[in-house]
Amino acid sequence: MMKEEDLKNLVVDALEDIKGIDIRAIDVGHLTDVTDHLIIASGASNRQVKALSDNVLMKCKEAGERPLGVEGQGEGEWVLIDYGAVVVHVMLPDTREFYDLERLWDIAAANRES
């Protein structure tokens, strides 16, 4: 089993390999017990979203990591891959803008600090 920082870096590299758009790695371990890192990326089309998620799954499998769960691969609008300490969201730009996960976690961080 990989260290969480190594797993996070592996996922980011896998997304960069397939030209993921606006890749963000957010440390949320201090905000929740559910996961330590959220990685959010966009794909320009359903096909690219699927290719990005497939590459993450393949690279992690090669490194001996298996996901706890994968959701949304059939539609390719929003794929969630859960590795426990690292949760990956790959979305179409419109979906990402609508749900705005980055802002939600920024609000959570601001509320925790106040």
Tens of pLDDT, residues 7-30: 999 999 999 999 999 999 999 988
Segments making up each domain of the chain, as ranges: 4-113
Residue range 4-113, CATH number:
3.30.460.10
Rounded distance between C-alpha atoms, residue 27 and residue 15, angstroms:
17
Residue 113 is predicted with a pLDDT of 58
Residue-level pLDDT at 30 = 85
Nearest CA-CA partner of 59 in 68, 67, 71: 67
pLDDT digits (tens, 9 = 90+) for 49-107: 999 999 999 999 999 999 999 999 999 999 999 999 999 999 999 999 999 998 887 76
Predicted local distance difference test score (pLDDT) of residue 55: 98
Q: Are strands 37-42 and 69-71 parallel, antiparallel or unpaired?
A: unpaired
β-sheet bridge partners, residue 82:
69, 87
Residue 111 has pLDDT above 80, yes or no: no
| Strand, helix or coil for residue 40 | strand
Residue 89 and residue 80 in contact, taking contact as beta carbons nearer than 8 Å? yes
Q: Are 55 and 39 in contact (CB under 8 A)?
A: no
